[in-house]
């Protein structure tokens, strides 16, 4: 496997994903927390960083156990770090270099550059540049503005590149990574979804033995794939709980429950709609609503998990991005792992041992594993949906009637996206019920009814997002359908705000 040392670059996760797309397993570790046992890693990649190597507080880890001992590829800051500490010279560039550039020189007969073309586009993002290579440096490639765009150190398997092979804009980027990992480091490309399924299922069997596992299904991709892996490993010992909080999409509870049962899962559907609605009654503050929904969910889940006798494990659909120890933006040693449990006063089910079968996977890998487990495309391609559901899409207080209205509106919108081949082009979509009445006219009658906002966004991880330019004809048709079919709504607007500064959900 490959070790990726993170110096805090925004692209570090992309490096890991590119490597894995080559079917080679990789792990990210913060530069200031090197694994004690390096023997498991056959190659090391150094990431970029927002720092200048010349800054006193920049990451300067000791690479004595790595450099010259294992194949090493240093990217951007990593390459500058190599140069700086091996007798080269790094200085500020005359101009900051961001964006595309083309290779204007590529040295012949270098295994590292096999099939990398002259004029190949590469992506730059740096403000320092390597003015002079270390004395054992061999220049491998240049761009018009950057002479030392790629180099190696003579006598060792050490490579440095100023540009970013991990971003898609670097057209031969994957080829370069493959050259390094396969040709130079000799890694095998055997980390496939099937191999992952086989080893994970074997490990889960071993880990869990004859004990019982509880898992909360949400209808989303992660919990569903986690459930299928566990099901494959331990069958009926897996007890799934699927809670209807009354804030799901129209018919979602029954449809998804049926789908789960069709997949052979041992799943109990718990309709707690009334309990949630009762607890939310009269509350219109967004944060309080979220807290109420969270609390009631825990209560319901706790009650239900007690029904499963002698359960000892709680399974969660946590994925790799939730677990990567990140180098904080300030570069400090504050490696943080996201924690979603508050300590003290844990509900009983949280006292169970935790098993997280997807903890090594990125989202796209979860989908590929699901596909190889023969799961339905409707489950694997489902848009993200927030835990508090429609509760944070109904602005103001929540009533059964408002939920019904929003479910109808949302269903027309989502069905429309599907029918017009737009669903898979959108990362997430939904409707918001606004606490606004406006005047309309239907037939000869004056109306004074609700307004809904439609939202459809493009995103990769939900951290940033942009609104989708849906065709006007589509919006026109959906708007017409909503106003004609959903009683209580006489106005539809489309949300054209990006995140930031807006968020995806309205609450
Ligand atoms: P925002 O509104 O913060 O949403 O831009 C970003 C993404 O997170 C989802 N979201 C949630 N998901 N529980 C969840 O499971 C929540 O409380 C929650 N709040 C927002 C939102 O749907 C979007 O995909």
Q: Residue whose CA is closest, atom 11 of ligand 1? A: 386
Percent of the chain at pLDDT exceeding 90: 85
What number of helices (H) and strands (E) belong to the chain? 12, 18
Q: Dihedral sign, CA of 91, 97, 98, 101? A: negative
Q: Tell me the pLDDT tens digit for each residue of 76-128.
A: 999 999 999 899 999 998 877 788 899 999 999 999 999 999 999 999 988 89
Per CATH, 2-184 and 193-380 having the same topology is answered: yes
- Output the CA–CA distances (angstroms, integers) from residue 184 to 157, 159, 194, 233, in the order listed: 7, 10, 26, 37
Instruction: Tell me the backbone φ, ψ of residue 101, rounded to 5 degrees.
Output: -150, 170
Asked whether the predicted pLDDT for residue 279 surpasses 70, the reply is yes
Per-residue pLDDT, 443: 87
- Binding-site residues, ligand 1, Cβ < 6 A: 290, 384, 386-388, 428, 462, 499, 503-505
Asked whether the predicted pLDDT for residue 369 surpasses 70, the reply is yes
Q: Does residue 107 contact residue 140 with C-beta atoms inside 8 Å?
A: yes
Per-residue pLDDT, 341: 37
Residue 155 assigned to a binding site: no
Q: Tell me the pLDDT tens digit for each residue of 3-35.
A: 999 999 989 999 999 999 999 999 999 999 899
DSSP code per residue over 319-387: -GGGTPPBPPTT--S--B------SSS--GGGGSEEE-TTTT--HHHHHHHHHHTT--HHHHTPPP--T
* Number of neighbours of residue 288 by Cβ within 10 angstroms: 11
* Number of neighbours of residue 336 by Cβ within 10 angstroms: 11
Q: Which two tokens stand for residue 127?
A: 């403000």
The pLDDT confidence band at residue 326, using thresholds 50, 70 and 90, is: low
Residue 466 assigned to a binding site: no
- For residue 333, give every residue at least 6 positions away whose Cβ sits within 8 Å of its Cβ, in sequence order, or none: 30, 32, 33
Per-residue pLDDT, 342: 37
Residue 220 assigned to a binding site: yes
- If one residue of 223, 458, 462 were mutated to test the ligand 1 pocket, choosing by the most ligand atoms within 8 A of its CB, it would be 462
Return d(Cα 446, Cα 438) in angstroms, integer: 10
Q: Does residue 106 contact residue 71 with C-beta atoms inside 8 Å?
A: no
Range 42-61 average pLDDT: 94
> At the top level of CATH, which class does the domain 393-494 belong to?
alpha beta
Domain ranges of the chain: 2-184, 193-380, 393-494
Per-residue pLDDT, 346: 63
Asked whether the predicted pLDDT for residue 448 surpasses 70, the reply is yes
CATH T-level assignment (fold) for domain 193-380: Rossmann fold (3.40.50)
Per-residue pLDDT, 343: 39
Architecture category of domain 2-184 in CATH: 3-Layer(aba) Sandwich (3.40)
On average, the pLDDT of the chain sits at 92
Asked whether the predicted pLDDT for residue 143 surpasses 80, the reply is yes
Q: Which atom of ligand 1 is nearest to the CA of 499?
A: 5
Percent of the chain at pLDDT exceeding 70: 96
The pTM (predicted TM-score) of the whole model is 0.85
| Å from CA of 386 to ligand 1 middle | 5
- If one residue of 319, 386, 455, 507 were mutated to test the ligand 1 pocket, choosing by the most ligand atoms within 8 A of its CB, it would be 386
Q: Tell me the pLDDT tens digit for each residue of 220-261.
A: 999 999 999 999 999 999 999 999 999 999 999 999 999 999
Per-residue pLDDT, 345: 54
Per-residue pLDDT, 397: 98
Residue 339 assigned to a binding site: no
Per-residue pLDDT, 309: 93
What are the residue numbers of the active site?
76, 164, 166
Asked whether the predicted pLDDT for residue 150 surpasses 80, the reply is yes
Cα 3 → chain centroid: 20
Per-residue pLDDT, 327: 66
């Amino acid at each position: 496997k490959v070790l990726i040392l993170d110096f805090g670059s925004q692209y570090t996760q992309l490096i890991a994903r590119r490597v894995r797309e080559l079917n080679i397993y990789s792990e990210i570790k913060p530069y200031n927390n090197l694994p004690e046992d390096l023997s498991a890693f056959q190659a090391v990649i150094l990431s970029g960083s927002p720092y200048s190597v010349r800054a006193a507080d920049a990451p300067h880890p000791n690479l004595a156990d790595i450099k010259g001992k294992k194949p090493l590829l240093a990217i951007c800051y990593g390459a500058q770090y190599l140069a700086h500490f091996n007798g080269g010279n790094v200085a500020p560039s005359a101009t900051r270099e961001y964006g595309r550039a083309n290779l204007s020189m590529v040295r012949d007969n270098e295994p590292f550059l096999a099939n990398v073309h002259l004029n190949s586009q590469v992506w730059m993002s740096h403000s320092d540049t390597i003015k002079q290579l270390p004395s054992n440096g061999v220049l491998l490639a240049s761009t018009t503005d950057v002479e030392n765009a790629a180099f190696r150190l003579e006598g060792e398997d050490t490579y440095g590149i100023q540009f970013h092979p991990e971003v898609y804009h670097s057209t031969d980027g994957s080829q370069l990574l493959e050259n390094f990992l396969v040709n130079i480091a000799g890694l095998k490309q055997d980390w496939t979804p099937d191999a992952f399924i086989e080893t994970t299922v074997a490990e889960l069997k071993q880990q869990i033995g004859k004990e019982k596992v509880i898992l909360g299904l949400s209808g989303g991709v992660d919990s569903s794939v986690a459930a299928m892996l566990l099901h494959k490993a331990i069958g009926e010992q897996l007890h799934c709980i699927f809670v209807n909080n009354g804030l799901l999409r129209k018919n979602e509870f029954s449809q998804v429950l049926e789908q789960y049962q069709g997949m052979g899962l041992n799943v109990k559907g718990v309709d707690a709609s009334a309990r949630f609605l009762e607890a939310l009654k009269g509350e219109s503050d967004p944060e309080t609503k979220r807290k109420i929904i969270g609390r009631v969910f825990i209560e319901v889940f706790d009650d239900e998990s007690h029904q499963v006798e002698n359960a000892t494990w709680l399974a969660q659909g946590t994925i790799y991005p939730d677990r990567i120890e990140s180098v904080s933006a300030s570069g400090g040693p504050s490696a943080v792992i996201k924690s979603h449990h508050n300590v003290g006063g844990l509900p009983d089910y949280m006292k169970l041992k935790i098993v997280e079968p997807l903890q090594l996977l990125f989202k796209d890998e979860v989908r590929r594993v699901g596909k190889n487990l023969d799961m339905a495309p409707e489950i694997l391609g489902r848009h993200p949906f927030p835990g508090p559901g429609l509760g944070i899409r109904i602005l103001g207080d929540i009533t059964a009637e408002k939920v019904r209205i929003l479910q109808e509106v949302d269903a027309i919108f989502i069905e429309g996206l599907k029918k017009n081949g737009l669903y898979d082009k959108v990362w997430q979509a939904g409707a918001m019920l606004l606490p606004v009445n406006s005047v309309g006219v239907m037939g000869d009658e004056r109306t004074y009814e609700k307004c809904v906002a439609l939202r459809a966004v493009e995103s990769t991880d939900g951290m940033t997002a942009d609104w989708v330019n849906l065709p006007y004809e589509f919006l026109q048709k959906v708007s017409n359908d909503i106003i004609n079919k959903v009683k209580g709504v006489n106005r539809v607007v489309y949300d054209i705000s990006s995140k930031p500064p807006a968020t995806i959900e309205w609450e």
